[in-house]
Chains A and B, each alone.
Chain A
Amino acid sequence: MQPAMAQSSLVEEFTAAAIQAVATVQVIDRSPANLCAAILQAVGDASRILYAPPQELPASLFSEFAADPRVRADATPEEVVNTAAGVTEAFAAVASTGSVCIDVSFERTGIVSLMAPLQVAVVAAENIVPQPRDLFRADVLDGRGLKRDFVFVTGPSATADMGPLVRGVHGPHKLHIIVLR
């Protein structure tokens, strides 16, 4: 299989699995304008948006979005616990499960991805790996999964402890994923 074809089939598999896990997925062509539009569309009329600048993707890709007046890259504690949406990058994603991998040791990425009811994760298509186990291989994504502190996020938080299945518990109630082609 050609790399490009392999990648596009991974994107498809990823999208289907993420939807299965009750996330929403949007695949866009990579540009600051596209990304900004996609994020703003996802967050709707949120009055404030938490934002953790990326570690992997170029910050310039987020520049247009970061310029929006509602965006807080250094929110106060009050703001962290009282904001409707949080935007971070995901350094990897998993096709078979529809998961995104968020680095929780990098600055405020962990907290921003956790505290707001809507989580928006941005991942590059080339960083989608086939299976969860691939994150534990030295030859995949330069072995980043073996070195980092991260979390596989699969859908929004959920519980069945109160009887029926409820989505949205302590963690985000919604997960929106933006895949960059």
Chain B
Amino acid sequence: MGNLVDPADITPRQVANKSDKKALLDAIRMTLSVQSSAVRRNTQTFNRNRYAATALLPDYDELKDRARLIKEQAIANSPELLRQLEAAVRANGGHFYLAKTATDADRYIRDVLLRHEAKLVVKGKSITSEEIKLNHALEAAGITVAETDLAEFILQVADEQPSHIIAPALHYSRERITALFKRKFTTDLPLDTGEELTVFAREKLRQQFIAADAGISGANLIAADSGSLMLVESEGNIRMTMTLPPLHIALAGIEKVVPSRTDFGTFIELLPRSGTGQPLTSYVSILHPPLKAPSFAAPGKTAKPREFHLVLIDNGRSRMREDPILHEALYCIRCSACLNSCANFEAVGGHAFGGETYSGGIGGSWEAGTGTLMNARFSELCTGCSRCVTQCPVRIDIPWLNENLRQRMNALQPESGVKSAFGAVTGSAPEDRIAPLQKQFFANYHVMAKEATRFSSLSNAVTGLPFVRGLMENFVGLDRRRKLPPFPSKTWEQLHRDQPGDRARSTNPGLPHVLMFADVFTNYGSPERGMAAMRMLRAAGVNVELSPSLPDGRAALSQGMIATASQQANGLAKTLLPYLEKGTVICVLEPSVLAMFRSDYEHLLDATTWEKFARASFLDPLQLVLSVAKERGTDLSQIFRAGKSPHGTLVFYHSHCQQRSCDAAWQTIEILRSCGFDVVTSSVECCGMAGSFGYKRDYYELSMAVGEDLFAQVRAAEQEGGQRTLVASGTSCHEQLWAGMGREVLHPVEVLVSTLD
């Protein structure tokens, strides 16, 4: 890779714009080396707290539905709401300005301040002001801007962009803040604790609050009916910004407008819990300025009458609203749940997984929507694991947005004969043959795997050759440090066909009958595991039939090759439809494929076919076993006796990210425990492999850094009570655990089957 720069010498600003791929790779190196531990600690704290706080909301799901509906309608009626809002603000005695562009907004705010002869402005946290680079515009006009949120204060001192949408300096550890302040300020204070640093910053900012001529705030939500704002904070600086100076300017994107103040009732329950994980943050202000209370006159000055300006910016949002995909991003309430529940984000934060303003899974859509498409390149770090989807209070399908961004970025690639020939041979849809070779390779891996399996001993010998791995690394970016799972000599389909009596046994009348879907990952990668799954189902009293093995589109979708994914999905749907129409339950061993059938197919199939998928039952095999056992009162511990397992009863289980998102993981844990296994579970969001992500040369280090959290949990569990059998439900999790722990990893079905005679 020939990178000579020490990652510690790369500054965040240098790599803020990631339209150049090198900036993204440098940013990953820099954040992994300098910021990772602080980012991890802070985001994982938010993440844990959010799970705990939302669990306490008895109507969490209904609130999310309501929030989604309010936002859908608000964005649909945006022009009308803006008219209402303007009238309401004026009726309150405020001023209203709708800025088309960032420059318009900057100019308006600057002119208001100059008219007031404002020299010093205190500012509350506003990510929107970062978007429009407001501070630069004001400073150029000779106005001093004091960032008063402590995180923004740190960033202002350090000259860095935010790394997180609600805690913009969370990449700073206490030690690094101390070092920064000592470098930038002359002080004899030790500044060695959080308290000392806070007191130091507070004293500086207190003076500014008192002397300020104006305050600039953001707004979390704005109500069109009354011109009310909702502002969420913990430090009290936003309250001071809005209360002390006579002039208050609030700045927000037009997407923040909801119809009515009554709507705040829904968001106030969701926003703080989804963000920091607090029931409420210290201060949630609800106001329709200008305030009636007198402004604060600094000692020796006279109080001036209050004046209020609401500045709303469009800056690309109207275009997003018309965009069939990106309009969904406008529903975002900027809570940060999607950042904190993202394993990749937890490892690097927003200076790698983010652009000049916005970060995380949703950040790509915002950077693309308010800037240019290539600014969203960092959205490559979204692996599509879907953990954020279940956590988003407005139910945005964030991976789908990123897959579309990827498709659009693929389309900007230059055409080449090699790519189109490769695409034609491997089965990329014509419109996807422009995608980089690497993407086409991973999207059509099943084609290669099929051929390789036919000549497995030769393939394994060849792919084991260092020079071949070198070629693969250069040609398709497959990292040579990754062990490739050996190609089996027989596929799952073949094993099933060959096993004497296997098919006869699968049609015992009177028992429930299911179709086992032969996903390509298991078929070409771990056929024995597929066989074990079928054996487990039969042992639990279920008749099982095996489908033909067909590509499901997951691999293509994750490369942004949506046309190819859709082609594969539609082909597969033809095979499955007769079963769906009969009401046959379909078992899916690979969770990433289960998630395709359960949700991603909504985007890939026509509406009538999707209807049939949406109504059908797609189950993880253990989910099926548990529900059948409960229905029939079967005691599973009489069938699968942990004591008989040659692997012992101590198990460490890592469920798959998409399996958890499909609510199909707890059943495995319940079965293993009820059969007598002692199960320790992981609590990481994702293993870091995430399909093909961790195989890519560019992302190998990041993938392993994410995996380290999982490996550490295994080591911790084993330090307590000795070695445990490693068990995981996803194909790529197996590879990752194997890479990290250097030993065999089993699937739960293999563990259960090992207890049978």
Chain A residues within 8 Å of B, Cβ to Cβ: 17, 21, 76-78, 80-81, 94, 96-99, 104-111, 114, 131-138, 145-146, 148-166, 168-172
Contact = CB atoms under 8 A, between A and B. Distances in A.
B299 interface: yes
Nearest to A175: B282
B487 to A, nearest CB: 50
A158 B206 contact: no
B283 interface: yes
Contact of B239 (A98, A109, A110, A145): A110
11 contacts: A107-B293, A111-B296, A114-B236, A132-B265, A132-B280, A149-B285, A149-B289, A160-B167, A163-B174, A165-B194, A170-B239
Interface stretch (B147-155, B396-404, B533-541, B553-561): B147-155
Given A78-B299, A81-B210, A131-B269, A151 B283 contact: yes
Contacts of A78: 299
B194 A155 contact: no
Contacts of A17: 279
Given A76-B299, A104-B291, A136-B264, 4 more contacts: A17-B279, A132-B268, A157-B283, A161-B149
B285 A104 contact: yes
Interface in B134-149: 148-149
Contact of A169 (B169, B237, B280, B296): B237
A148 B287 CA distance: 7
A104 to B, nearest CB: 6
A132 to B, nearest CB: 5
Contacts of B458: none
Given A77-B299, A114-B236, A114-B240, A152 B293 contact: no
Nearest to B239: A114
Interface string B287-306: 11101111011111100000
Nearest to B289: A149
A108, A153, A157 interface centre (most CB from chain B within 10 Å): A157
B416 interface: no
B280 A152 contact: yes
B645 to A, nearest CB: 44
B71 to A, nearest CB: 16
Nearest to A140: B265
Contacts of A77: 296-301
A170 B148 contact: yes
B285 A136 contact: no
Given A161-B167, A166-B194, A171 B235 contact: yes
A71 B405 CA distance: 61
Interface stretch (B197-205, B371-379, B678-686): B197-205
Q: Is the interface on chain B under 10, 10 to 19, 20 to 34, or 35 or more residues?
A: 35 or more
A136 B244 CA distance: 26
Given A105-B293, A110-B291, A145-B286, A161 B239 contact: no
A115 to B, nearest CB: 8
A157 B234 contact: yes
Contact of A149 (B205, B262, B288, B300): B288
Interface in B558-617: none
B293 A161 contact: no
Contacts of B198: 159, 162, 166, 168-169
Interface string B249-289: 00000000000011111101100000000111111111111
B177 interface: yes
B262 A161 contact: no
B36 interface: no
B195 interface: yes
B290 to A, nearest CB: 9
A149 B269 contact: no
Given A162-B194, A163-B174, A153 B283 contact: yes
Contacts of B235: 157-159, 161, 169-171
A108 B282 CA distance: 20
B234 A104 contact: no
A170 B293 contact: no
B156 interface: no
A106 B265 contact: no
Contacts of B278: 154
B173 interface: yes
Given A76-B299, A80-B296, A170 B237 contact: yes
Given A111-B243, A158-B234, A165-B194, A171 B148 contact: no
A136 B296 CA distance: 29
Contacts of A164: 174, 193-194
A173 to B, nearest CB: 10
Contacts of B177: 162-163
A133 B263 CA distance: 9
A169 B150 contact: yes
Nearest to A163: B174
Contacts of A170: 148, 202, 205-206, 209, 235-237, 239-240
Contact of A151 (B193, B194, B195, B285): B285
